[in-house]
A and B are shown apart, each in its own frame.
Chain A
Amino acid sequence: MRTRSAISLMLIGLLLIPLTGCWNSRELRDLSIIGAIGIDKLPDKPGYKVSFQIINPSAVTTTGTGGGGGQSGIPVTVYTGNGRSIFEVIRKTSGLSPRQLFFSHIRLIVIGETLAREDLSNLFDFFERSHEIRLTTKLVVSRGSSAEQLLQVLTPLERIPSDAIYGKLESTKSIWSESMITGVDDVINRLIGPGKQLLISGVRILGDQDKGGEKANLDKTKLPAEIEIKGIALFKNGRLETWLDGGKARGALRIQDKMNSSVVTVPCKDRDDPAAIAAIEITRSRTKVKATVVDGEPAFRVYVREEGNVGEVSCAVDLSKKEAIEELEQRWRSKTKQEIREAIEAAQSRSSDVYGFGEVLNRSYPRTWKKLEDRWSEVFADCEIEVQVESFIRRSGMRTKPYIKE
């Protein structure tokens, strides 16, 4: 009895060897860890030009006492290949890379502007299909340069450029709110969602594009080439239509209730003096979008409730007085309203419902939505959208009256 069970146990153990699906044990030193992928359009023929930003571990970590100390200090290497499909290029690049490309740690996918202006709605199948790539990988559009060029720019502090770009995205999103973070999963959801269009943040190179890839880029205090997060790309049917910048971008975030914190500058007092301003820090902002249908015509109301603190004042205004605060709140309110209006206008003029008004309608009036679904783009362009803003200033900082005298 005992021997029989022991034998059967051993047989079961033997069966396991062919059962192991993930048998492919890979040593770390046989892997090229990729930090970012860039995808550009080939200039004259169909297909993609794909760039891989490969991280050089021993140049990135400060205490790499392993044998590879003598290598060049450049933290990343960029390999580029051409092909009809992304997958094809990946395998093709093996001729360039001494190690197998490893995609699980991709932070960023950069899409070249020229490709974005053409059509990217069919681009994402590979990212969804591959088991190595995470769906939460973030997407950005390279603004004014190719993705390949952008990936080549070296960055200080964060030695890995993809990490640097990601860090910039995170920090500007949370304290300036003029850009948003979009993952591959978000993009796919939006592409298949009802009437929803894409919004993807833009990234551009400031300065000399060609110098960005040189090691000298890290040896200067003022960098010859820098990467900046700038604007939000507005898409229609997978095609980049326009860029939302500044107030418009902020308005776009407000409509989607994605505002974290930002600083709004409003004129202080009544004078038209451009130097007399008050800067208000937004500490809390909540947005609700409501749909109504009148005579079969949908209309929307965007309701914003925001709170903030006064952060800076450059004119003599006594903030201990209720009237002064109310006046500031009034100005702030109209500024917010204006930003939102601009953002809506930008979308309506391109008849691209990037903010998801269609989904609000679908949720509240599914029958109306069914009727309008097919021609939603045109309907949306003419929709009545009302904006209501409530603004509250809660604190005025460490003092009420500024030292500035009239």
Chain B
Amino acid sequence: MIKRRKLRSQTSQQPSGNSVSPLGTDLKANLQRMNRSMGHSNDLVIREFRIGYVQEDAAIAFIDNLVDKKIIGEFVLRSTMSGTADSESNASERDIDVLDTIKNRILPLGEAAIAKEWNELFAAVLNGDTAIFVNGYAGAIIVSTHGGEHRSVEEPSSEVLIRGPKEGFTESIATNISLVRRRLKTRNLWMDGFKIGNVTQTNVGILYIKGIAGDKTVEEVKRRLASIETDGVLESGIVEEFIRDHPFSLFPTMYNTERPDSVAAGLLEGRVAILIDGTPFVLLAPTTFFMFFQSPEDHYHNFQFAIFIRTLRFVAFLISLLGPSIYVAAISFHQEMIPTSLLLSLAAQREGVPFPALIEAFLMEASFEILREAGVRMPRAIGQAVSIVGAIVLGQAAVQAGIVSSAMVIVVSLTGIASFTMPAYNMGISIRMLRFMLMISAGLFGFFGIALGGLIITAHLCSIRSFGIPFMAPFAPFIAADQKDTLLRLPRWFLNTRPRLISQENTTRMNGSKPAPPGDAAEEGSPDEN
């Protein structure tokens, strides 16, 4: 953070340094200026040649490794170098802008434009385009020659599914957009582009389905993105922090995913996707609390299983949030609530334990968190071994040494395992932090403290919004129609509406009708059977 701020102050003059200034007509001067502006960087490649068609000196400039050299060789250099000065056409077209002619008649490439101004030119070249200068003309042709190394589309590592598409987003925004477009072949899938970051000039795109996404939401997303003032955007988390609601809330008010199918589903519900170049994590807005409990898989398996799994997930959520605090409260305040035989067995276990229950819980939870963090940061090869050894040492040995009770180990490990059932990692983070707060209040006030903490959390959750949508929708406010796909997941033919608050104007999904034998289907006259 501090580093970034420093960087900004150093470089804040730089953009203003090469403010709006048009290109000159002299080729040599232009090339020199370009070289100088980039500090004679080695990877700036300038190749001078002669355009065959007008017999004029010219040069191309591009950044090595950002471009596809095959395209440059095949389509840029070959087509411009070939040909001879045709006197007839020469005479008539001498006065016409050669740049236009080259662009319109010679370059067999999809994307080409003419830049008249230095900033524009640098932005394009640094993005992987190639600039063609022609002597005597103030301007350069920009042709799109993106290339270079990219990670290929792989299975997303942070959101694993048993059933469902195995494609995940990559670091390239172009690939990511294509992954979404491939799923939503509609002309209503609209896209807007931004460049964010004074230095990084990161490409940021927003995707939405016109007519389904609320216009106000789209406007709001655009407004917030446009207002970002920063040096650099390296990951969607940075953008998220700039544009999210309630920046001090522990709960994530924006959803991120690595899965194109999740994004497509979000877009179909009327959400807006924010794609950022350089990261596979795509943001979705507006976000509601219950999105974090839903896995795309809920819709890919049969609905009975989906209901079962969702119920299980909510139970696991409660366990991971409240597990240790309920244990601490019961064991140090409400012994009368524990069944006698269980109480006796707990009492026997705690006979030799030197710490109060709260301290014991803190000790174990903290060591579990350390193990977890170590497991993530460890080099992959030893990470697993270390966490297993750590678990055995901390669990088994600590119990045998009489430092912690085995019941506490059970509670902590159950809590830990339960927290892994959250499909969204960032919701898991907030639960982990809140768990410690609830443990303290349970240790101080017993169940009263837990109730109090729960009340505060609930009140907070009900008070926050994400891009104008209440975070706890469809429970607060209660929307009956949206209950079909929140805690439950009803069969597809029941899910005929979109979330009401998110897609405000167009909420009918028209999902088709229930599968039925052919005779019945004909009677019902449903056009989209299967």
Q: Return the chain A residue nearest B346 by Cβ.
A: A28
Residues of A participating in the B interface, judged by any CB pair closer than 8 Å: 16-17, 20, 22-29, 31, 33, 55, 57-58, 60-61, 63-68, 102, 104-105, 107, 132, 134, 160, 163
Does B148 belong to the interface (CB within 8 Å)? Answer: no
Contact B351 A104 (CB under 8 A): no
Contact A66 B345 (CB under 8 A): no
B416 smallest CB distance to A (angstroms): 22
Does B348 belong to the interface (CB within 8 Å)? Answer: yes
| Among all A-B residue pairs, the 6 with the closest Cβ atoms | A67-B352, A104-B336, A64-B348, A68-B351, A57-B347, A57-B348
Contact B332 A26 (CB under 8 A): yes
Does B466 belong to the interface (CB within 8 Å)? Answer: no
> Which residue of A22, A29, A57 contacts B344 across the interface (Cβ within 8 Å)?
A57
- Residues from chain B with Cβ under 8 Å of A20 in the complex: 444-446, 448-449
Cα A107 to Cα B343 with chains together (Å): 14
Contact B351 A33 (CB under 8 A): no
Query: Which of B346, B356, B449 is most buried by chain A, counting CB atoms within 10 A of its CB?
Result: B356
- Residues from chain A with Cβ under 8 Å of B92 in the complex: none
Q: Return the chain B residue nearest A75 by Cβ.
A: B344
Cα A105 to Cα B344 with chains together (Å): 10
Q: Among the listed stretches B119-127, B165-173, B400-408, B474-482, which one makes contact with chain A, having 4 or more residues with CB under 8 Å of it?
A: B400-408
Contact B446 A22 (CB under 8 A): yes
Cα A192 to Cα B248 with chains together (Å): 61
Contact A28 B446 (CB under 8 A): no
Cα A20 to Cα B441 with chains together (Å): 11
- Residues from chain B with Cβ under 8 Å of A60 in the complex: 344, 348
Contact B353 A29 (CB under 8 A): yes
Given contacts A20-B445, A25-B332, A27-B357, contact A66 B351 (CB under 8 A): yes
Contact B352 A105 (CB under 8 A): no
- Residues from chain A with Cβ under 8 Å of B336 in the complex: 104-105, 132, 134
A21 smallest CB distance to B (angstroms): 8
- Residues from chain B with Cβ under 8 Å of A66 in the complex: 348-353, 402, 405
Contact B335 A68 (CB under 8 A): no
Does B399 belong to the interface (CB within 8 Å)? Answer: yes
Q: Return the chain A residue nearest B349 by Cβ.
A: A66
A241 smallest CB distance to B (angstroms): 34
- Residues from chain B with Cβ under 8 Å of A24 in the complex: 333
Cα A17 to Cα B441 with chains together (Å): 10
Does B452 belong to the interface (CB within 8 Å)? Answer: yes
Per the 8 Å Cβ criterion, residues 384-443 of B in contact with A are 399-400, 402, 405-406, 443
Given contacts A61-B344, A64-B345, A105-B336, contact A27 B356 (CB under 8 A): yes
Contact A25 B350 (CB under 8 A): no
Does B10 belong to the interface (CB within 8 Å)? Answer: no
Cα A189 to Cα B344 with chains together (Å): 32
Given contacts A65-B400, A66-B402, contact A25 B446 (CB under 8 A): yes
B504 smallest CB distance to A (angstroms): 29
- Residues from chain A with Cβ under 8 Å of B444 in the complex: 17, 20
Cα A369 to Cα B56 with chains together (Å): 127
Q: Return the chain A residue nearest B336 by Cβ.
A: A104
Does B340 belong to the interface (CB within 8 Å)? Answer: yes
- Residues from chain B with Cβ under 8 Å of A23 in the complex: 445
Q: Return the chain B residue nearest A24 by Cβ.
A: B333
Cβ contacts A to B, 15 pairs, < 8 Å: A17-B444, A23-B445, A26-B332, A29-B353, A33-B340, A57-B347, A58-B351, A60-B344, A60-B348, A61-B344, A64-B351, A67-B353, A104-B335, A132-B336, A163-B340
- Residues from chain A with Cβ under 8 Å of B443 in the complex: 25
A97 smallest CB distance to B (angstroms): 15
Does B321 belong to the interface (CB within 8 Å)? Answer: no
Cα A27 to Cα B335 with chains together (Å): 9
Contact B350 A61 (CB under 8 A): no
Contact flags B298-331 to A (C-beta < 8 A → 1, else 0) = 0000000000000000000000000000000001
Cα A57 to Cα B349 with chains together (Å): 9
- Residues from chain A with Cβ under 8 Å of B350 in the complex: 27-29, 66
Q: Return the chain A residue nearest B339 by Cβ.
A: A105
- Residues from chain B with Cβ under 8 Å of A17 in the complex: 444
Contact flags B435-474 to A (C-beta < 8 A → 1, else 0) = 0000000011110110010000000000000000000000
